[in-house]
A and B are shown apart, each in its own frame.
Chain A
Amino acid sequence: MKGNGRYKVLLFFFVPVLILFAVGFVFGPLGAGFFGTKPPGIFQVPKPTVDLPAEPICHVGHFSLTNTLIASWLTIIVLVGLSLLLTRKMKPIPGKGQAMAELVVEGLLNFVESVAGKKHARMLFPEVATIFLYVITNAYLALLPFFGSIGLHEHNDKLAPLFRAANTDVNTPLSIAIMSFCLVEYWGMKSLGVVHYLSEFINVRQLGQGFKALLAGRIGSAVMDIFFGFINLFVGLLEIFSHIMRMLSFTFRLFGNMTAGEILILVSSFLIPLAFTIPFYGLELLIGLIQALIFSGLTLVFGTIAVSPHEETE
């Protein structure tokens, strides 16, 4: 039969998952509601409480060390350790580790070049790639088994996990967003010059032309220029506002996606303990990748807009 091998895969994967699903359904809280069976000890998942601010683990003077900070340290250790390990002895014909690192770097460089063009790609590449790798490693490390479960018990009998997904604390997306904003302005000023770049925000060029024409006596073109000059000035101020709004939107996009994913996994593993969370873990993998792409890609796009000289539409 043509699909013979396929049936074996179905048997070995699908049937155990179904069995686990049935067991989890019957012995979990839903089963307790439907059939009245009490969950045995191993299925007692604590009721999910949504704790938006990160829990502090210990206090160093006035500074409280939160579990998301420890998780982001773990991310840094993993990233720096991997990159040091894989680039240890570089050979012209790469071994497996170096080939994997080259794959990552070259993929990111192609992505940056496809948006920014070859001229500015090298300038934008380090920070955009760092944002991508940091966000995606934060998101993927949070799916490991010991995140969110091993921790200390606080006084009011609430578990404070030792590690928690770093992206679920508002501070991490906020810090990356502030860095992204500062970087975009820095790139713009470095490419176009400080005065030229800032003059796009406070755009008094046409207004100045209008007043000069007024003094020279050409009333008709002066009125037009003054009118459009005021509009340009207003649009420039709106640009400042939109740049600042980007910080907020970056923050809440990443924070919201990651927190929603965490709550989803908590609730789904509480409702039907064993097999129900498998598709949600898959969803978390996809969402982590997409959010990293979006964050770094939007930083890249805004940086490209900032470094490209504006054409005058006179």
Chain B
Amino acid sequence: MSPDVMKLLSVGLAAGLGFFGPALALGLIGYSAMQSLGRNPEARGAILTNMILIGALAEAIGIYVLIVCIILAMVVKF
């Protein structure tokens, strides 16, 4: 396999497999937030604040994957 094909394959695999984790994490965070909101609608402020905080932490993992893909695609030259 030529290096260009390998490069394209690696970028695609890295992006596709890598975004799976953060997406799942964000879905779980939203799920638990909705559940606790349904149980206790009065705690809305605290629940939403913490949800956004943890959401951004999980989002960061996706950003790390994006950085790896950008580096693989644009910076690595053969």
Residues of chain A whose beta carbon lies under 8 Å from any beta carbon of chain B: 50, 52, 249, 252-253, 255-257, 259-260, 263, 290-291, 293-294, 297-298
Contacts and interface: CB of A to CB of B under 8 A. Distances in A.
Given A50-B74, A52-B75, A260 B66 contact: yes
A50 B70 contact: yes
B74 A260 contact: no
Contacts of A297: 53
Interface stretch (B25-33, B34-42, B56-64): B56-64
Please classify the interface of chain B as helix (H, G, I), strand (E, B), loop, or mixed, using the class held by over half of its residues. helix
A157 B24 CA distance: 44
Contacts of B74: 50, 52
Contacts of B53: 294, 297-298
Nearest to A248: B64
B56 A256 contact: no
Given A50-B70, A290-B52, A291-B56, A256 B75 contact: no
B67 A252 contact: yes
Contacts, number: 38
A255 B57 CA distance: 14
Contacts of A257: 59-60, 63
A297 B56 CA distance: 11
Interface residues of B, number: 13
Main secondary structure of the interface of A (DSSP, over half): helix
Given A52-B75, A297-B53, A252 B60 contact: yes
5 tightest Cβ-Cβ pairs between the two chains A and B: A256-B63, A253-B60, A294-B56, A256-B67, A50-B74
A283 to B, nearest CB: 13
28 contacts: A50-B70, A50-B74, A52-B70, A52-B74, A52-B75, A252-B60, A252-B63, A252-B64, A252-B67, A253-B56, A253-B60, A253-B63, A255-B67, A256-B60, A256-B63, A256-B64, A256-B66, A256-B67, A257-B60, A259-B67, A259-B70, A260-B63, A290-B52, A290-B56, A291-B56, A293-B52, A294-B57, A297-B53
A192 B60 CA distance: 31
A249 B56 CA distance: 12
A256 B56 CA distance: 12
Interface in B37-55: 52-53
